[in-house]
Structure 1
Amino acid sequence: MGPGICECTENCKYGTCWNGQCECWAGYTGHTCSKYDPLTMPNRKVSVGINLAEITYYSSEVKFVDVAKESMEWITQRREGVLAHQWNTHEEAKVHFDDDGYPTQLEDTMILVTLILRQGHWSPAGNYTILYDGEGELGLGLVHFTRIYEGKGRMMVNMDPGSGGIELKIMRTNQQNHIRNIRVILPGFEDRHAHFPYNPLFLETITRYSELRYMDFMHTNAHQPEPTTWATRRKQTFHTQTGSYGAALEYMILLSNMIGASPWFNIPHAADDDYIRELATFVKTSLRPDLKVYLEYSNEVWNGIFRQKVYSVEKGTQLGLDSQGYRAGMKYYNKRSSEVMGIFQSAFGIDSEDRLVPIWAWQTGYQDYYQQALDDLGNRTRDFKALAITGYFSCDGAASKHKTDLPQMTMSAISDLCDLDLPSQKNMYSHYMDVAKNHSLSLVMYEGGPAVMEPGAISHGSSNDDVTTKAIAFNSDPHIKDNVMAILEAWKSIVTDSPGNQAPGGLFNYFSSAGFPSKYGSWGMLRYTGEDPHSVPKYMAVQEFITKHLSHDVLGNKCSFLISGNVAFGCFKPRDRHGWQCGKSYNHGSAWEYLPDIPGHDILNILDGYNHATHTLFVRTVDALGVNQYHVTDTYHFNWTTTDSWTYHSMLASRHVTRSLPMGDYRNLATTHVDCLYQAQAPPPPLG
């Protein structure tokens, strides 16, 4: 724990300690977070998952509050000499790096440089904290900054990264005590970043999904090294979580644990048996016991743009699986997929039946090829529980077949093309649902969503600017909302609701969570972390779909309370009043003094915390789609102020804030006037 931050007196079993009390993961309650109550989970029984964006220094999805985790890998520069004006001198081979990627020494004129928060995505202005171990000198570039404080191992600078981002430089390092463990922390999160590494704005956009596909998070496509071993895996302590090694497994487990979303792991194509065995054991012992594990060998091994396709052909040919390269690759995929699933099942033992969801996937667009691959799989289908397909829709090839007309088309006309395309999508879903049933398997989607873009941009980089501009505009136009909703409804009626295709079948896995549009596609549901969800038609379509079909969705804690000294604060539904109320009590909840109404009319109010130093109360109001508004008030005058999401969360991260109590642990605050209890279920077995 940080300076001045209290430890908890008891272990937080399924949660994290903060300032003397446990903050429980979604679905867990009690003062030690040991009771399981799925009725408190916003994603309970939701049949929609999400593909998370890749971690890069230019990604618009800012996942971590320590943004050094999203930095570019080091490049070299020179202060002096003929190389002094080159952006990258490509001298990394001259640098000796420690196991975490930090230089143990530098030549006199050499500088190491990385980029953070690049390419114009969202990033807040304010006081950034830079922490590091060791001795040396750090520098900053690309951004105007004011140095607020500098001492041993700690700097605070005021800056606004804007569109240019941050250039972080190691100017010199002490060979006997080299600079390492560099952290660049977003404003307000210096106290909490070590225990709560994820950006709360990122978390809020994914809390309603029941599954997270970590394909890009793991850098599955062209994953390195070959072979991938447990010893060479990316670790949490490495200087960045970007790059071809993918992010640390620990971060994926923590994220799934926090929000209660089952992980979908894509095993690297060149992973050896020991890596797979160690990964399986780690997942079994670290993942919370109520979650399932979706498991897929690599990603789109049939796709020629990825290294894993070439690798599978090489291996299949070496093994003599077929004289034709593409068929040798297909057969190797089947062979290795079955082996991967077997290793996991052995590691999980008797838990494998309930917890593992082995996935088999092949090229959706060519039904005969898909069937050929399944025929080769043969009786090894018993090693899997579900087939997986894609669910993209291109609006009858709006940016390919209709590219000549697209720049002049109205948004309504493009939307009509999507409607025209819907019957063929339905036929495809029906076809693969029948295929899955014929093989006694469930059907899921590994990727799906709008694909209105020029296919040639991905295959060979060619595009037309006018077509690209119109495709990007349609992807953010209100008309696309109905088209996304229609494809979700079609999937639900044909696949999710199909008899015999109950969970884990029926999962719609949207691609992807966030990303800026380009000629290569408008894949991101949100353009950037922190974007107003109500302004994003694709996001609102998915949330409306979830709300429409999952009326049990609680959207958050039914009641929330905290105690600060002799006073308690709470937000709840009183038995004798209509609507949500927030109040304070001086007698442990025997009587409540209701606070002035919070602006807006929403589904519920959630009390997040109280800053005893500034006497500030933090309350979120949540609408029917799970979108938050943020309100603060001082507890002397109770004049509510509505604020933006970043300001709210950065203020809430202070060490002086007492957070609301875990669900189900009210310390007798709600026994008389409030009904806060859900119908709790028996807790799952312990980890491991």
Structure 2
Amino acid sequence: MKLASLSNNGMGRVFLIAALLQFNGMLIGCGRFANSTNDSLTSTDRVNVSAQSSSSSTPLAAQTLTNAARKDFSSARVADQPNARSPLGINLAGVVSYSTELPFVDVFKTSHTWFSNAEGAGWAQGGPLALTREGWVASLRSGQYATTGLLDGGHYPTGNYTLLYDGQGQLDVAAMSGKGLTIVSQTPGRMVVKVTTEANGVQLNLRSTKVADPLRHIRFIMPGHEKTYQTQPFNPQFLKLLSPFKVLRFMDWAGTNGSQLANWSDRTTPSFETQSAVHGVSLEYMIQLANTLKADPWFTIPIRANDDFVRQFATLVRDKLDPSLKVHIEYSNEVWNFGFEQATYAKDQGVKLGLDKDQYLAGAKYYSQRSVEIFKLFEQVFGGTSRLDRVIAGQSVNTWSGDQILAWKNASKHADSYAIAPYFDGREILLNPDKAAQIARMSQDQVLDILQADLRGPIKTNMVASANLARKYGLALKAYEGGQQLTSFQFGNDEPQITKLYSDVNRNPRMGDLYTEYLNNWKAAGGGLFNHYSDIGTPIKFGMWGAVEYIGQDLKTAPKYQALRRYINANPTAK
């Protein structure tokens, strides 16, 4: 996401006038289950209790990924490789319980982290919850129970789901709506649950668990995938939608924005209770998805990651990623954007190191030099740069700051690409809270006309300016994100009406035409790889990001996705 406006004076001081936050997959309150407060999670008591204490077996997820990594890479790839000459990449939406992306056939991997409840108490008022390091419930006090939810974003497959678990305890399953869910069969460790659209999501309550053999390794498997979920963890429909794209940017999957992750030992692993954990999806799953689709991964390294973290990260990628794939490396995400905590962190570090008297420039220079340090660590692990694309990112509307970043300590000489996010949004009108009444009276065509003027005017100009900057430093110009950027949360009482209007605009066939013109302008300006933001997501007031709204959508009703596919077919790359 971009800042609403930005300027710099002759002293080089940058003033951030307003910020639009990119919530997308990280929103609290978008799903039915997530409407409940998560305050209790901040007091969660994590204890060192092994989830495997009563079993000598390797956790299923970790065992599956280890075995998959030993196979010939070609065995997991999509057969016809439709992305081989694709000029486009795509950002993946965040993994959360209410996402309509549904990437895993074991949908428990997208479940919410546990809420602590107690009989007779209010929601999430059960007190500290004792969890293992991997997030499984280690024990419960008298009257306490743990609750989680999944599939609360709607648009999920219906039919018989298979619930599997290890250990001993009492696990209740219920529909969030109170109807539309039936227990078909039940034996220790296995349950078959019929789920219909009426369920509006699934809630699981862990009522008791045996301390010596806690109930753990819960799986909730989509209909038809019980026999294959371990070796083929990804939803086939999800894979099909992503198959045209050459690059997968894992920024939201990694929980990059606001990340507090510094140490390798604290990262999410495949055996975690959920992949919607605070530190994002495990790197192993990102690598496996890239291998499966034969798509180059674009990784965003956490802002606080120490050198050991970076080395371990690079080593795992080197050892497990298909060696034919390119590795795009970027330090965090939009470190210039003070709507994100990482910008403040970089500023504070830059000031602490005395990199510049100007606080903004101190942060920009810290981002620049830490990016180079990370690149060098990857180069050491990979034994060179042939498999790497070292990305330094900047702001599409402000080449001045990009110039400062690239020039600092000759950072450009250690990079391969300069990346921006040239969103179009008609912001002077369409994002302006003072224009709410005017916008509410607009037709779809009037909104689309404003968007068209935007991409033909300032957006095109910014693309050319950024291309010139990249050319000055001998770098390729890429888009780490891009697409339309309409939001409506800022419009007060007019928000519901404008949300509907902007949602309909995104479904209008003319939006596909705008995308085609927009991408052609990008190519003409000298832009290379373009990563759309994002893949799958329903339109809400915080953004209409998804190229597709949900898995299983009729693609004839998805003009943005259709336009992306047309552009891919019309603009094949050399390889």
Matches within 5 A, 1:442-481: 442-454=476-488, 456=490, 464-481=495-512
Change (3 A) 1:163 1:212: farther
Of 180, 185, 199, the residue aligned with 1:149 is 185
Identify the residue that residue 209 of structure 1 maps to in structure 2. Answer: 245
Instruction: After the TM superposition, list the runs of 4 or more consecutive aligned residues in structure 1 that deviate by more than 6 angstroms.
Output: none
Does the residue aligned with 1:405 lie in a helix, a strand or coil?
helix
2-structure distance, mates of 1:378, 1:480: 42
CA separation in 2, counterparts of 1:491 and 1:303? 23
Aligned residues with identical type, % of pairs: 34
Written as runs of structure 1 = structure 2, the 5 A alignment for 1:31-180 is: 40-79=80-119, 81=120, 83=121, 86-91=122-127, 93=128, 95-119=129-153, 121-141=154-174, 142=176, 143-144=178-179, 145-160=181-196, 162=198, 164-180=200-216
C-alpha displacement of 1:135: 0.8
Which residue of 385, 390, 396 corresponds with 1:358?
390
Which of 72, 82, 85 aligns to 1:13? It is: 72
The amino acid of 2:452's aligned partner reads D
Displacement of 1:369 in angstroms is: 2.7
What is the deviation of 1:455? 8.0
Name the residue aligned to 1:419.
452
CA contact (8 A) 1:66 1:197 kept: yes
Give distance in 2, aligned partners of 1:455 and 1:193: 38
Q: Which residue of 2 aligns with 1:400?
A: 431
CA distance in 1, matches of 2:199, 2:466: 44
Superposed CA offset, 1:397-438 (max 9, x none): 451356543333332333222332213222211111111111
CA distance in 1 between counterparts of 2:405 and 2:493 reads: 31
CA distance in 1, matches of 2:481, 2:76: 31
State the partner residue of 1:652: none
- The aligned residue for residue 36 of structure 2 is none
1:283 to 309, 312, 317: 317
Q: 1:312 to 1:24 in 2, by over 3 A?
A: closer
Secondary structure at the counterpart of residue 250 of structure 1: helix
Structure 1 residue corresponding to 2:418, chosen from 376, 383, 387: 387
| 1:431 aligned residue | 465
Residue in 2 aligned with 1:315? Answer: 349
Is the Cα–Cα contact under 8 Å of residues 397 and 452 in structure 1 kept in the other structure? no
Higher relative contact order (CA 8 A, sep 6+): 2
Aligned residue identity for 2:248: L
Please state how far the C-alpha of 1:157 moved relative to its aligned partner: 1.4
DSSP 3-state at the match of 1:139: strand
Mapped partners of 1:59, 1:136: distance in 2: 29
User: What TM-score do you get using the length of structure 2 for normalisation?
Assistant: 0.83
CA distance in 1, matches of 2:425, 2:254: 27
The counterpart of 1:300, out of the listed 334, 349, 367, is 334
Map of 2:306 onto structure 1: 272
**Is the CA contact (8 Å cut-off) linking 1:456 and 1:463 kept in structure 2?**
no
- Shift in Å, 1:164: 2.7
Corresponding residue number in structure 1 for 2:77: 25
- Measure, in 1, the Cα distance between the counterparts of 2:273 and 2:206: 13
Alpha-carbon RMSD across the aligned residues, in angstroms, is: 2.3
Contact 2:91 2:532 in 1 (8 A): yes
Q: Does 1:230 align with 2:260?
A: no
CA positional deviation for 1:320: 2.0
Distance 1:431-1:551 versus aligned 2 partners, 3 A rule: closer
After superposition, what is the alpha-carbon deviation per residue over 1:19-69, rounded to whole angstroms, capped at 9, x for unaligned? xxxx44136xxxxxxxxxxxx420012110000000011111111110110
1:599 corresponds to: none
The 1:291/1:125 distance shift into structure 2, 3 A limit, reads same
Aligned equivalent of 1:188:
224
The answer to whether the 8 Å contact 1:223/1:246 transfers is: no
**Deviation per residue, 1:617-660 (Å, 9 max, x gap):** xxxxxxxxxxxxxxxxxxxxxxxxxxxxxxxxxxxxxxxxxxxx
- What does residue 482 of structure 1 align with? 513
Give yes or no for contact 1:123–1:162 (8 Å, CA) kept in 2: no
The Cα shift of 1:161 comes to 5.3
1:546 counterpart = 2:563: no
1:396 Cα deviation (Å)? Answer: 6.2
For residue 182 of structure 1, report the CA deviation from its aligned partner.
0.5
Greater alpha carbon shift after TM alignment, 463-472 vs 171-180: 463-472
The equivalent of 2:531 in structure 1 is 509
Q: Residues 132 and 154 of structure 1 are in contact (CA less than 8 Å); yes or no, is this contact kept in structure 2?
A: yes
Distance (whole Å) between structure 1 residues aligned to residue 139 and residue 442 of structure 2: 60
**Would the alpha carbon gap of residues 206 and 162 (structure 1) be closer, same or farther in structure 2, given more than 3 Å must change?**
farther
* Preserved CA contact (<8 Å) 2:424 2:451: yes
What is the CA deviation profile of residues 212-241 of structure 1, one whole-angstrom value per residue up to 9, with x for unaligned ones?
A: 00000101001133xx21111100000001
Moved more, 162-171 or 54-63: 162-171
In 1: Cα distance, 2:206 partner to 2:489 partner = 41
Q: 543, 550, 554: which one pairs with 1:521?
A: 543
Greater helix share, 1 or 2?
A: 2
Post-superposition Cα deviations, 1:349-383, rounded to whole Å, max 9, x if no partner, equal 13x2x2100000122222323333333x2412111
CA–CA separation in structure 2 for the residues paired with 1:430 and 1:297: 24
Q: Tell me, in whole angstroms, the C-alpha distance in 2 between the residues paired with 1:105 and 1:538.
A: 48
Check conservation: 1:202, 1:530, Cα contact below 8 A.
no
Helix, strand or coil at the partner of 1:231: helix
For structure 1, which segment, 358-367 or 415-424, has the greater mean C-alpha deviation from structure 2 after superposition?
A: 415-424
C-alpha distance in structure 1 between counterparts of 2:509 and 2:263, whole Å: 47
2:253 alignment partner AA: F
Change (3 A) 1:462 1:324: farther
Task: Report the Cα distance in structure 1 between the residues aligned to 2:571 and 2:406, rounded to whole angstroms.
Answer: 33
Contact 2:355-2:362 within 8 A present in 1 as well: yes
Give 1:78 deviation, angstroms. Answer: 1.4
Which has the higher mean CA deviation after the structures are superposed, 520-529 or 231-240? 520-529
How big is the shift at 1:151? 1.2
Amino acid paired to 1:519: K
How far is the alpha carbon of 1:394 from its aligned partner?
Answer: 1.2
| 8 Å CA contact 1:399, 1:467 repeated in 2 | no
Once residues 439 and 482 of structure 2 are traced to their aligned partners in structure 1, the CA distance between those partners, rounded to angstroms, is 22
Give the count of matched residue pairs.
503
- AA matched with 1:327: L
Contact 1:396–1:420 (Cα < 8 Å) also in 2: no
Quick one: which of 410, 417, 430 aligns to 2:443?
410
| 1:570-609 correspondence runs (5 A) | none
| CA deviations over 1:299-350 (Å, ceiling 9, x no partner) | 0111112111121122222222223322221121112111111101111013
Letter in 1 for 2:87: S
State the alpha-carbon separation in 1 of the partners of residues 428 and 106 from structure 2: 41
Consecutive unaligned residues in structure 2, runs of 5 or more: 1-59, 61-66
Distance 1:241 1:162 in 2: 26
Code of the residue aligned with 1:14 in structure 2: it is: F
Greater displacement, 312-321 / 70-79: 312-321
Task: Report the CA distance between 1:290 and its aligned residue.
Answer: 0.9
**C-alpha displacement at 1:551, in angstroms?**
10
Name the aligned partner's letter for residue 413 of structure 2.
Answer: R
Per-residue CA deviation, residues 173-199 of structure 1 (Å, 9 max, x unaligned), is 111111111101111111111110111
How far 1:133 sits from its partner (Å)? 0.6
CA displacement 1:466-493 (0-9 Å, x = unmatched):
3333222211111111101110111122
After superposing the two structures, state which structure 1 stretch, 418-427 or 428-437, moved more: 418-427
Q: What is residue 569 of structure 1 aligned with on the other side?
A: none
Q: Which residue of 1 aligns with 2:7?
A: none
Given the two structures, how large is their TM-score scaled by the length of structure 1?
A: 0.70
